[in-house]
Every structure is written in C-alpha cells, then in structure tokens.
Structure 1
Amino acid sequence: MFTLTEVASLNDVQPNYRILKPWWDVFMDYIGVIMLMLAIFSGTMQLSKDQVACLPILEESTNCNFTPPPKGDDMGSQQTGRKTNLDFQQYVFVNQMCYHEALPWYNKYFPYLALIHTILLMVSSNFWFKYPKTSSKIEHFVSILGRCFESPWTTKALSETACEDSEEKQRFTGGVVFQKHVSSEDSSQSTPLIETPTVQFPTEKLIAEAPSLTTLDKKDGEQAKALFEKVRKFRVHVEDSDFIYKLYVAQTAIKALKIVLILSYTSTFASEISFCHKCQVEIESLTGYNQFCCTHNMAFMLRKLVFTFMALICLYGLLCLYKLYWLFRRPLKEYSFEKVREESSFSDIPDVKNDFAFLLHMVDQYDQLYSKRFGVFLSEVSENKLREISLNHEWTFEKLRQHVNSNAQDEQELHLFMLSGLPNAVFDLTDLEVLKLELIPEVRISAKVSQMTNLRELHLYHCPAKVEQTAFTFLRDHLRCLHIKFTDVAEIPPWIYMLRSLKELNLIGNLSSEHNKMIGLESLRDLRHLRTLYLKSNLNKIPNNLTELSPHLTKLMIHNDGTKLTVLNSLKKITSLVDLELQNCDLERIPHAIFSLANLQELDLKNNNIRTIEEIISFQHLRRLMCLKLWYNKITAIPPSIGLVKSLESLIICQNKLETLPPALFNLPKLRHIDLSHNFISSIPVEVGFLQNLQHFAITENKVEVLPNQLFKCSKLKVLCVGHNRITSVPEAIGQLVQLSHLELKGNCLDCLPFQLGQCRLLQRNLLFVEDHLFDTLPLEVKESISSD
C-alpha cells in the first residue's frame, strides 16, 4: 500500500516551477493522479478479493455453461446437479491450480501494469525539470524570473512607461499644432534636432526627472542593478543551445509512443476478461476429474476498471497530440517581445532564441505578464534608466563639488570620466564654466542645465548626447565652445549644428571623404558666430561646405593622421581666415591656395613632408602674415626670398634639415621670434645684428661653434637658447643684453662663463640652464646677483 504522502511525492514539482507548466501539463498531472488512484484501487481489490471458484465438469457435459431449469419445474420436487464426492481441501487445491492455469495473465497483472505505466508517465512528465543538464538552468531561470517579476524596479519602470506613453501622445499632438504656427524666420526655435524634431524630443524625455523613479530606494536600485548582470550572463549562457527544448520534445514523443503501445495491447487483452473460464488440469488421479468450470469474481469490476483506464489513456494521448501540435506549429526557438515594445517605450528589447525563447514561450502559457516584466530587464533603455538612478545616489552634489577644479584659464572645471550616465546633481553646479564628459555611454542633458548660467564650454569625448528642447534652447544661446571626440560620425549629435552662439567647434574623429556627406557640415551655416573650427581627422580634401562659413570663420585647424590632403581649393573662398593650421597632412609643398588668404596672420604647417619652400616668395602678398611655423618637416634650405615677407614677426622652423641660413632672413625688421632648433646649422650669420626687435632666438641642437658679437647687438633679446652645440666660449658682449631673462648654454664645450653675465639684471638662476661646474666659475658676487630673487 502507498501512503498519501508517497503518492503525492511522485508528482512533487517545486511550486516555483508552476510557471513552466502549461495547462496541458497540469491536466496530464491530474489524469496521472487519477490513473494512479485507479491502479492502487484495482491492486487493493485484487489483493483482498481476487480468486476463482471451480466445479468439476461431468463427462456428459461438454462445457461449463450453466443452463437454467425449465419453467414450471418445481425446484423443491426435482433434484438437480450431481454429487462430486470432493472434500473442501480438494476444492481449495483445484481453485489454486485453475487460478494459475486457466485465468489469463492480464486479469492477474493489470493493476500492476497500470501502476507501472502511470508512474512512468508521471516521471517522464517532470523529467526535464530533474535532468542534470537542464535542472540547473531551469532553476536559475525560475529564480531570476521570480526576482524580476517581484522587483520594485520592474513595477516602477512599467508604471513610468504608462505615464510616459500618455504624456508623449499629448506632447506629440501639441508639437504638431505648434509646428503649424511657427514662423519661418527662425525654424531653429522649435527644431532642437535637425532631423524630425517633432519626434525626436518627446522620445528623448529624461526618465530620471520623473518623481516615481527618483524615489527608488538605493538598496532596491543596487539589487536591480545586480539582477541586470545576472540576466545578461544567464542570457549568454542559455541562448547558445536548445537542449531543454529538444528534451521536452523527446519526452513528449516518447509518451505518445508509450500511449499507443498501451492502447494497442490493452484493447486486445480487455476482450479476454470474462466471468467464466474452463480449466483443464491433469489431476484426475487426485480428484477424479480433469476439467473444471471456474468463475472469476473480479471479472465485472476489472472490466470496468480496464475501460476506465483506457478512457484516461485516450484523454492523456489527446493531450500529448495537442502538445506536439503546439511544439511544432510555432517557432519556439525564437521569442519576440513585439507586444511589449508596442505597449511601452522599451523599443530596444532584443528577441531571444533557443532555450531562452522556449522557456519564455512556456511562461506565456502561465501568464504573459511574466514575459512582459522580464522584457524590462532585457532592455538597454531600462538598464540605462536604472543606472541613472544608481548614479544619482552615488554622485551627490557634495561629491561632485569635490571634483571641481580651476584650470589653466582660472575657470571652474569638472571632468567626469567613464560613468554610466550624467548625474543630475551636475546641473546644480551653477558656477561651473567648463564641463568635460569622457567615455560616458548615455549622456542626457535635461532642462535643469538652464541653471548653469556660467557654463560656456562643453567637452563630449565619446559621449553621444541627447538634449531636451528646453535644454537645447539654453545651450543654443549660452554655449561658446564645444569639443566633440568620436569614433563614428553617427556619434556626433545633430543638434550641435544649430548652436547659433557657438564660437569654437572642435571635431575629433573619423571624417574621411566617404563619410563627408554624413557629417552634416552644410548646417554649419547656422553657426552664425563660429570663429574657430578644429578638425582632427583623416581628411583627403577640405570639404566644400566649409566655404559657407567664410563670412565669419577666422581660425581653421586641420590635424590629419598622416592622410595626404590633396584638395585645398576650398581654402581660397574662406577669405576671412586669420589663423590656419594644416598639421600632419603629408604636404610636400606649401599649398598655393594659401596665398589667396589676404587676411592670414598665422600659418602653421607642422609635421608634414615639405622639402622645399621656394613658394615662400608668394607670402609677400600676405601683408598681414606675422607668424610662420614650418616645424617638423624636411626643409633643407631657406630661400633668400624670405626677405620679402616684411610683415613676419615670428618664424619657427625647428626640427628640419637646415645647414645654412640666408642673410636675407635677418632683413625682416619686425622679426621678434626665431626658432631654428634641431637642425644642422654650423654658423650664425653676422647679419643677425640687424634684428633690433629680436626678443627670442633659439638655435638649440645644431652644430654652431661660434656666437657672433653682432648677436649681442640685439638689445631687446629676452630668450637665448644655444644649448647642445659646439660652442667653446661665450663672448663678453653678452653683458649688453640687459633684458635677457632666459639663457640656455647646457651641452656645449665651455670651460667657463664670462663674469659679464652679472650685467644681465633680469637673469635668474632657475632660467639659466648651464652645468653646475660652469656656474661655479663665476665670481661670487655674480652668482649671488643671479641667484637672488
């Protein structure tokens, strides 16, 4: 006998697993319990009442059928039957013999077969829960699903989504009406983004501002954040196989085959169940008879139980067929959250596949709300919202205040690096002037930025930023300098091209020619106050659209990564340029387009491949050119035509291959700054004395052996750098440089220093670069005067 506890344990599935048991599996479990009870009942009846009663068949009788007496006969007056002369023990013996010999085996073993079949069906129904390769995954899935369902974050996110949807409809409707009445004078007033403005802004509403989410408890937020990580790892682990699905299909197919087998043999043997059986045993020597007529007293009940069992098996089989139909009718190896995406703002919920998809399909049979709430944890939007809340708990106003520093320009600057988002408390730093954001994947600028009335400079390094309409209006009117560093042009926020008060724009990233059309530079014409444009990229031509900035652009800096800049004709049209930098552009000559820039004052051609500068004669037409930087090239000679550039005040031509200097170089009356360092120059022409306005002269790392006395006639000289040459002595005339404050002599072949250095009243020890043993050769009073403050 089985106790009720033992019977219940056969179908004991953990309560948490009920979400993975669809209605047909639950129905099968109930049928299994009924079949189990039927088997136990029939087995109990058989153990207590199953027996046969046999009587001998007389020789003149050919069968064991009972024939009733004729009607009208008086049973009391007519004797029927015949005395057999058998005692009780012989009848008991015959009953036992005939039970084993004449009774069909199915009559005797049906209860046990029914019990075995039922147990096998019940075990196979729950086998996929208990199999070693599936149990851990299923248990982990159920645990995660339960925690996701019960998480306060899920409830808040879904409720916030419902509120957003209703508000978004209202905003969208209002936005459309507003667009009909907007004037054509300044469309940027109502279009914060260049593309589809009426749609972009409502979808970029900052969720972190919603009060229902900001009130999320910090502990709940941390728990939800940890849960996000578990869900992500579990998805990666489960989506790589479909073993659970295959196991479920296999056990269903096996049960269907088993039912076919049970029905086939049960229907065959059920017809053999009868009340009367003829028994023929060779025991005539013991009883005097060898044929007996036996009755099976369980036949009637057994027949009813067999047909009941067959009916249950048929119903069980129909459920198996329906299960197979469900398994093969729809693609269970892929699960789409299409309905969830339609009903919420979580439009980025990814579709899942394989075992993960199958488990979610099973959950849907229990309650689709589980899948909907679970979809929240698969959405990056949801995760980003949660990160915002966790970020705001961690980065308080006090903590951010500690990270504010004064930069070189004495401006209040905040640099945030590798955060999950932008803390809301940043917008409370009203005195902040420079905000640097680096490697922050989700930057959302809310309307609270309007509190930062001192904000003038913004850096977005690999930080795709989205702004609200009110925030954009503030940035459009107040932002003066913007730095954007990106990997792909898609990361450039389109709203930056409408910041009409912007004066300086820096774009650092891939802007190669095949992507030029994607940059949207044609919209730069709306940057009415833009003065400085810095492009650090891999351009092979200057975009034609830059000419639209010609009326107001004064400084253009193009720093290539070594890509050859071949097309520069567009430069001719930017006639307002005052400062031009073309660095690392693989230029071999000075571009002719530069000579058309009549307003140019400073030209920087650093780190190119320039070998000759014969075109420098054309610089005489640039009457405002004051600074020429040709450093880090391969120039071997300076042509005498350099003397025609009368307006030149600064010449930096260091890090080249110069060997000589033309005397015409020193006929430039306005020249104040010369840097000839890191060349192969062996001598300084005596014409250097003509530079009466010279204040900075550097010829470090050359092959100079002698300093001419004419050099010290440059009475305005403040900086003299002649270190790392072959100079053997310093002329006493150095004392004439009364304004000298910076002197570099280190790395030469000097034996001593002239005491006339003491006449250079502005020279201090910290700006005198010379070996200590040479400094010690100076008289004591000279050393004291140089060392004094």
Structure 2
Amino acid sequence: MLSITEACSLNEDQSSFKTLKPWWDVLMDYLVVLMLMVSIFSGTLLIYKDNMLCLPMGDDPPNASAGTKNPAAFSSSDPPTPEPGAAASGSGAARPAPTTSAEPVKGGHSTNLDYQQYIYISRVCYQKALPWYSKYSPYLALMTSLILMVSSNFWFKYPKTSSKIEHFISILRKCFESPWTTKALSETACQNSEEAPRRLKSCPSRVLDRSGDEATSPCSFQGEAPFDMSEASSTTILDRKDGEQAKALFEKIRKFRAHTEDTDLIYKVYVGQTVFKVVKFLLILGYISCFVGSITFKHICKPDIQNLTGYSVFFCTHNLAFIVQKLLITYMVLVCLYGLVGIYTLFWIFSQSLREYSFEKVREESSFSDIPDVKNDFAFLLHMADQYDQLYSKRFAIFLSAVSENKLREMNLNYEWTYEKLRQHVSRDASGRLELQLFMLPGLPRAVFQMIDLEVLKLELIPDVKLPSKISKMSRLTELYLYHCPAKVEHVAFVFLKDHLKVLHIKFTDIDEIPLWVYTLKGLLELHLSGNLSSVNNKVIALESLKELKNLKVLTIKSNLTKIPSTIVDLASHLSKLTIQNDGSKLIILNNLKKMANLRELELHHCELQKIPHAVLNLTSLQTLDLKSNGIQTVEELEGFHHLRRLTCLKLWHNSITFIPPAIGVIQNLEQLFLSHNRIECLPNDLFSLLKLRHLDLSNNLISIIPQGIGQLELLHSFSVSSNKIEALPSQLFKCIKLKALHLGNNKLSCLLAEVGELTYLTSLELKGNSLESLPLEIGLCPLLKKSGLIVEDALFDTLPSDVKERLTEPEFAR
C-alpha cells in the first residue's frame, strides 16, 4: 500500500526552489496533493473492497442484454427476489440456500446454486458487466495527478534549465544574506534620511573629471552611490572575508548575466508547461464529466453459463459505485480549481512582458542610478522571484550596480594595500628619485597619499582613479604616469597638480581616456601621450586645445598620425622639443612644423619618411634632428641645412641611406652625427671638414675604407665603425688624440697599429670579431684603458705579455 506520506513526498521540491514558486504554483501543488490523496484513497478502496454481488433472475428482463446495465428496468421497489437463504458473505458472494428444505421459504424461491457458483458468477460478471471506468477511474486519476505533478516542476528538472535555475537561486540567496548588501542599503537609507542635506552642505570640495571646469561634490560622484565606505560606522564594517565573498559574487553575477541574457529558454519552458497543464485540465475535465454520471450501483449480467447454473440472467450490484462516484466528483472539483489557476497563470504570463525587467523603483528608492535593466531569462527569473518577495530583487540589484562594485573593490583594496605594503614597492628610478608603480588594481589605495616623500607615481591599468585633496600633502610629487587610467580629481587636488606637477605620461586607447583637466595644467613642463590618434570613418581624432599649457617645453606623441596635429601650434612660442613616434604609419602633412620656429629638438621616428622633410629647413633654432627608422634613401636636402646654424646633433640612423653627399660639410656646427644601420659604402672627404664633430657613429654599414681625412677631427671623442668591411685603419685615425671610445668590432682587420698607444684618453676599445692574431704591446700605454673597457677575445688578450696584462687589470688609482 502507498501511504499518503509517501505520496506527498513525491511533490516535495527542494526547499531552495520556493523562491521561484509564485502563489499560483504553490496553490497548484497543494491541489495536486489533494488530487493524489483522493485518487490514492479511491484506488486503495478498489484494491480492498471492490467486488460485485450477483443473484439469479427467474426470467430475463425484456430490454436487458449481456454486458450492459439497465438500472431503469429494476427499481429499488421491485427488485428480483432472491432465495431467502442466500445472504452476502464476507467475501461478497451470496450464501446458498439449504438443500434439505422440502418447501420454499415464504418471500423467496430456491435457486439450487451453491456457494462456489455464486463466487464464480460474481467474478465473471465483474469482468463482463462492470464498465472499465468503474474499475479503473481511480487509477486513471492517480496517473493524471502524477503527470500534473511532474509538469508543475518540469522547469526545475529539465537539464537545460535546471542548472541555470539552481545557479540563480544560489546567487540570489547569497546576495540576500551578504553583509555587503545590508551595508549598502543601510548607507543608502542614511543618505535619504533627514540629515542628508546637512551632510551634503558639509562637503565644500568639488570634483573635476574630464571637464576641468565643472565642479561637483565629492560626496556624490556622477553615476555613483552616495555612500562613503571610508566613513562607515563600526556596526556595518565588513571584515576581509565578507569583502572577498562579495567580490566573488559580483563576478558570478556578471558571468551569469552574460549567460542568461542571450536566451529565453527558461521562459519558453515555463510557458510550455503552463500551457500543457491547462490542456491537461481540459482533457481531464472532459473525460471525467462524461462517465462520472454513468457510474451506477445496479448492473444486469448475462454470462454464457446457463448450462452450468441453469440461469442466464443475473442482477448484480457494485458495492463501491456510490463512493467512487462521489470521490470522482471531488476530484473533478479539484481539477476545475487547478485549471482556473492555470488559466490565471497564462493570463499573467501574456498580459506583461516578462522578458524585460526594470529596476526603476529600486533606483528611485535606493539612489543607485546605474543599475541596468535586464532581459530574457534573467528578467523572467527576477519576475518570478518578485512574486515570492520583492525584497529579493531590491537586494539583488546592489550586485548589478557598477558603483557598488567599485566601492567594494575600493574597500578591499584599502584592506590589502596598507601603508607598510606600499612602502615595500617603493624604489628609486635612474635619477635616484623615489618611485611607486601600481599595476592592475581596482582603484587607488588611500595609503598612497600618506607617502609625502614620493616623487614619481606610476599608475597602470587602474580603471577607477580618483585623486582626492589629500594629494596636496605630497609636496615632492612632480611626475605622474597614467597608463590606461582615466583619472578624476577633486578641486583642491587639481589646484595642487596645476602648480606642482612637471611631467605627465598618459597612455590611452581612446582619446576620451585623457582627462580634460590635463589640458589646463599651467605648470606642466613635459607631456608624453601614447595612443590612437588616427582617423576613423573619415573623422579625425583630435586633441583638445593645448594653449593653456603655457610652460610646456617637451611634447611626445606615440601614435599613428598622418599629419602633425594642429593643436601643437598653440605651443609654438615656448615648445622646445617635439617627438613623434609613429607606429609605421606614413606622416604625410608636416606644414605645421614651419610654425614651430623656437623648436630646438625634433624627433620623427617610424614615420615612413622617404626623405628629409623640407619643413625642417624653417626651424632655424633647431639643435637636434632625429629621423630614426624612416626608410630614408637619399639625403640631398642637406644642402639647405646651411640655414640651421645651431644644429649640433643629426641622427639619420636605421634608414636606407646609401650615399652621403658632399653637402654634409655645410653643417659646420655639427658635433654629433649618427649614421649607423644604413647602407653606406664610402665616406666623402667633406664629412671630415666638420671640425667640431665629437661623436661619429658609422656602425652597421658597408664601409670598407676610412679616408685619411679623419685625422682632421681633432675634437673627436667617440668613433664607431663596427660591423663594416674595414680591412685596415689609417694612421691618421690615431691623431685624434682625444678619442675616448673607439669601436672597431666585427670588421676584417688583421692588425692594429702601434700608434694606438698615443690615445691617452682612450677608455673603451672594441676589437672583437676581427681577424687579429695579436695585439700591439703599445696598447698598454693607454693610461685610462682597462681590461673591462677592452672588448676582445680572451685568446687574443692572452697573447699580451704578462706585464701588459697586469697593467690593464690593475686599478686606476694604483697607477
């Protein structure tokens, strides 16, 4: 026997699913349980009590036929009279009349049937005369109840929806119980209290983001929640564990949202199961209503056993007909209620858009203005949760807010990055200044602004950088790096940066990452920009006006420009160095360079220039020209360089120059010439007329002969011809007695002249990669040359006498 408790357990869902069960689903579950109880009770009665009792009839009724029932033919007032001695037994069969009686008893007649014959006839007539719905309707009701139970919870069990639902419920409950949710809502409630206006008035500072001019209160950043985690009361402070759990929740919700907003499978499955339940209700109501009224107590049975019993017609009664009929009527009432609730569910589903969910009310009540609306399965699940308790969606919305997440990250950040930990990351740069570099943090730790001795601050890939007024305490801060860090500053911080910041480095993907307050830093001396400034869809990406940068001396742009930005004209009167490093894009338009008359240093790298730009000839104040890696093949424009009388450094390295024209001699004030990594084969004599030349780099070319005229460069300090094809050195080279560095490596030298000993200032000599068999002994006469400055093969160094080797290895002060 199936107990009621066991039957009810079939309908029990996991307790966690109740969050997604609205009142109609709960009611339908209770109705299904009642239907199960009715069907199980009916089935149990049929198992234990279901029998028929049959008595023979003397004459066949005129309208009766075998296997049919004719209750109208026999009324309760005129039943066929059985033998008085035939009474129903405990098994449902009539007891036979005594055979010893000589006379029939008054009120009846003898049938001459024994007990076993009555049992046999009752069994045959049960199968032959009793309709199927009288025998099996309880079991049919039980089966349909189980189908309705399964269909009610199908979306919880279907593999493609169950995992999403379980994940959603798990996240929803964690969000509901999270201390971070309570903290955020409590701070919001505090903000909306009567004391809020007074607290807002107590915040006089202003915030500057990209506008530089507009000021807003730092207590209410645009698009942010108005609560301040740093001033939270002790009763709502989160410990580190709770903060990490809330941080993990934000990540889970982000992934779950991306996974569920793309499809509406859960919605379709729920709609499908609801439609199925309504259709099933109509079917159940249809067939039960057809036969429930046909279940009767009286039946006529005509079994083909007259040769055995002597009777062909029997009158039978079904002892459970009345109670089965009443139970089926009760079942039908429950089904009707079930169907009405299902119809209401369909009305609720199709009367509103359940695949869109707006947090408008939550945004109004909690002041979280950045909570996004959701759609598809995510929206449908929230609609279902609202039917259980709308507080769930309100608390869940906290974890959809980007501002809330940023505040949490800021709190966790301040827990983790203490002053002591930041001190461990402080180092000294090449200039000996104190430097702190922070990489890929969710925000800027407050402890940074306690480091008042910091001079260089590097921030990289930090999405939410806010520079508060506390930065004004960092009086030694002069250089700031913002690599993919769109920063906001308070007004007090902006005033401080305007006066104290001297060097600013910004790396960006989109030009909007450059804060507009940068263009108003009047005290800035150097600005280094790196990012995309090329044209997109025929729209030029332009910098803002630079005219407010009145003290800017150095401007560096690393981008893929096709023309010189027009905004640099604003700096024409005071800019002294301009560097443009293109990413292989061809710089076509250079007309704006003509207006930079006061420019002293110009660097154009990777700009795909095939020749020296004519615009350079107008820069009469130019001292350094660097055209590295441009693919320049000819330098005939050097003829016009006689106008550049202040030019002292010319860098044409890493190009494709094959010939140096004699016009090189017009640059009489040239002190440094870089021609390395080209294809130069020979050197003109005019090159050695540059008597002021101090540094000459001809390495990585195709030079085979060094002209004798090199001896004229008496002021030459550094000479490099490494990685060429030189076989012999001219003796005049060693008349350049002021040489400090001589690089001759990777050539075809077979010997080194003894005159090398006359280079008394030589500190660096590179000979490695030649065909030398020995070194001259005079090399030991170079007083400043040490073994560390002598770059040569070890085997070749070992050919020197021991006293020479000792002289080269002994410390300089020992000499």
SS of the aligned residue for 1:11 comes to coil
1:654 Cα deviation after fit: 1.7
Contact kept, 8 Å, 1:609 with 1:633, in 2: the verdict is yes
CA RMSD of aligned residues (A): 4.1
Equivalent residue number for residue 652 of structure 1: 674
Residue deviations 1:341-400, cap 9 Å, x none? 56553626463434x443333222212332333344345544444333333333332222
Contact kept, 8 Å, 2:209 with 2:515, in 1: the verdict is no
Match of 1:211 among 218, 231, 241: 231
Indicate how the Cα distance of structure 1 residues 274 and 630 shifts in structure 2: closer, same or farther if over 3 A, else same. Answer: same
1:558 Cα deviation after fit: 0.5
- Alignment of 1:153 with 2:180, yes or no, is yes
Residue deviations 1:16-51, cap 9 Å, x none? 110111111111122223333444555677778888
Q: Which one has a larger percent helix, Structure 1 or Structure 2?
A: 1
- Alignment of 1:617 with 2:639, yes or no, is yes
Alignment of 1:664-703 (within 5 A): 664-703=686-725
Q: Which runs of 5+ in 1 are unaligned?
A: 69-81, 180-188
- Alignment of 1:83 with 2:107, yes or no, is yes
Task: Point out the more displaced range, 466-475 or 563-572.
Answer: 466-475
- Alignment of 1:497 with 2:519, yes or no, is yes
Indicate how the Cα distance of structure 1 residues 624 and 328 shifts in structure 2: closer, same or farther if over 3 A, else same. Answer: same
Match of 2:395 among 373, 383, 386: 373
Provide the rounded CA distance (Å) in 2 between the counterparts of 1:280 and 1:773.
127
1:658 Cα deviation after fit: 2.2
Task: Point out the more displaced range, 683-692 or 58-67.
Answer: 58-67
Provide the rounded CA distance (Å) in 2 between the counterparts of 1:386 and 1:600.
53
Equivalent residue number for residue 82 of structure 2: none
Task: Point out the more displaced range, 108-117 or 594-603.
Answer: 108-117
Provide the rounded CA distance (Å) in 2 between the counterparts of 1:751 and 1:54.
133
Percent of paired sites with the same residue: 55
Letter in 1 for 2:376: K
Residue deviations 1:441-483, cap 9 Å, x none? 4444444433332222222233343444444443333222122
Equivalent residue number for residue 76 of structure 1: none
Contact kept, 8 Å, 1:572 with 1:597, in 2: the verdict is yes
Provide the rounded CA distance (Å) in 2 between the counterparts of 1:35 and 1:383.
49
Indicate how the Cα distance of structure 1 residues 50 and 606 shifts in structure 2: closer, same or farther if over 3 A, else same. Answer: closer
SS of the aligned residue for 1:588 comes to coil
Provide the rounded CA distance (Å) in 1 between the counterparts of 2:417 and 2:376.
38
Provide the rounded CA distance (Å) in 2 between the counterparts of 1:34 and 1:196.
71
Letter in 2 for 1:12: E
Provide the rounded CA distance (Å) in 2 between the counterparts of 1:550 and 1:712.
45
1:515 Cα deviation after fit: 8.4
Provide the rounded CA distance (Å) in 2 between the counterparts of 1:733 and 1:97.
137
Indicate how the Cα distance of structure 1 residues 418 and 664 shifts in structure 2: closer, same or farther if over 3 A, else same. Answer: same
Provide the rounded CA distance (Å) in 2 between the counterparts of 1:726 and 1:47.
113
Provide the rounded CA distance (Å) in 1 between the counterparts of 2:535 and 2:445.
37
Indicate how the Cα distance of structure 1 residues 178 and 459 shifts in structure 2: closer, same or farther if over 3 A, else same. Answer: closer
Residue deviations 1:205-224, cap 9 Å, x none? 69775333993211112223
1:104 Cα deviation after fit: 5.3
Task: Point out the more displaced range, 209-218 or 578-587.
Answer: 209-218
Provide the rounded CA distance (Å) in 1 between the counterparts of 2:75 and 2:547.
114
**TM-score, scaled to structure 2:** 0.82
- Alignment of 1:719 with 2:741, yes or no, is yes
Equivalent residue number for residue 194 of structure 1: 211
- Alignment of 1:15 with 2:19, yes or no, is no
Provide the rounded CA distance (Å) in 1 between the counterparts of 2:645 and 2:802.
50
Task: Point out the more displaced range, 229-238 or 14-23.
Answer: 229-238
Equivalent residue number for residue 183 of structure 1: none
1:435 Cα deviation after fit: 1.9
Contact kept, 8 Å, 2:208 with 2:489, in 1: the verdict is no
Provide the rounded CA distance (Å) in 1 between the counterparts of 2:306 and 2:704.
143
SS of the aligned residue for 1:413 comes to strand
Letter in 1 for 2:19: I
Indicate how the Cα distance of structure 1 residues 411 and 196 shifts in structure 2: closer, same or farther if over 3 A, else same. Answer: closer
- Alignment of 1:64 with 2:64, yes or no, is no
1:10 Cα deviation after fit: 2.6
Indicate how the Cα distance of structure 1 residues 515 and 135 shifts in structure 2: closer, same or farther if over 3 A, else same. Answer: closer
Contact kept, 8 Å, 1:172 with 1:198, in 2: the verdict is no
Equivalent residue number for residue 603 of structure 1: 625
SS of the aligned residue for 2:616 comes to helix
Match of 2:579 among 557, 563, 572: 557
Number of residue-to-residue matches in the alignment = 766
Match of 1:434 among 433, 447, 456: 456
Residue deviations 1:204-259, cap 9 Å, x none? 76977533399321111222333444445545555565554444333323322221
Provide the rounded CA distance (Å) in 2 between the counterparts of 1:286 and 1:762.
141
Match of 2:374 among 348, 351, 357: 351
Contact kept, 8 Å, 1:642 with 1:665, in 2: the verdict is yes
Letter in 1 for 2:222: T
Letter in 2 for 1:248: Y
SS of the aligned residue for 1:521 comes to coil
SS of the aligned residue for 1:720 comes to strand
1:171 Cα deviation after fit: 11
Provide the rounded CA distance (Å) in 1 between the counterparts of 2:160 and 2:21.
19
Indicate how the Cα distance of structure 1 residues 12 and 777 shifts in structure 2: closer, same or farther if over 3 A, else same. Answer: closer
SS of the aligned residue for 1:533 comes to strand
Provide the rounded CA distance (Å) in 2 between the counterparts of 1:598 and 1:648.
14
Indicate how the Cα distance of structure 1 residues 8 and 212 shifts in structure 2: closer, same or farther if over 3 A, else same. Answer: farther
SS of the aligned residue for 1:487 comes to coil
Contact kept, 8 Å, 2:208 with 2:488, in 1: the verdict is no
Provide the rounded CA distance (Å) in 2 between the counterparts of 1:505 and 1:209.
34
Residue deviations 1:601-652, cap 9 Å, x none? 1111111122222221222212221111111122222222322222222111
Provide the rounded CA distance (Å) in 1 between the counterparts of 2:778 and 2:5.
112
Indicate how the Cα distance of structure 1 residues 613 and 119 shifts in structure 2: closer, same or farther if over 3 A, else same. Answer: closer
Q: Which runs of 5+ in 2 are unaligned?
A: 63-72, 79-105
SS of the aligned residue for 2:435 comes to strand
- Alignment of 1:143 with 2:170, yes or no, is yes
Indicate how the Cα distance of structure 1 residues 164 and 536 shifts in structure 2: closer, same or farther if over 3 A, else same. Answer: farther
Indicate how the Cα distance of structure 1 residues 172 and 291 shifts in structure 2: closer, same or farther if over 3 A, else same. Answer: same
Residue deviations 1:80-138, cap 9 Å, x none? xx923358989987988877766655455544444443333223322333345544443
Task: Point out the more displaced range, 506-515 or 774-783.
Answer: 774-783
SS of the aligned residue for 2:647 comes to coil
Provide the rounded CA distance (Å) in 1 between the counterparts of 2:716 and 2:50.
128
Contact kept, 8 Å, 2:223 with 2:369, in 1: the verdict is no
Provide the rounded CA distance (Å) in 2 between the counterparts of 1:631 and 1:60.
127
1:547 Cα deviation after fit: 0.5
Equivalent residue number for residue 285 of structure 2: 263
Match of 1:449 among 471, 477, 499: 471
**TM-score, scaled to structure 1:** 0.85
Letter in 2 for 1:739: Y
Indicate how the Cα distance of structure 1 residues 477 and 339 shifts in structure 2: closer, same or farther if over 3 A, else same. Answer: farther
Task: Point out the more displaced range, 241-250 or 448-457.
Answer: 241-250
Residue deviations 1:516-563, cap 9 Å, x none? 967552332222222111111111111112111112211100011221
Equivalent residue number for residue 789 of structure 2: 767
Task: Point out the more displaced range, 274-283 or 125-134.
Answer: 274-283
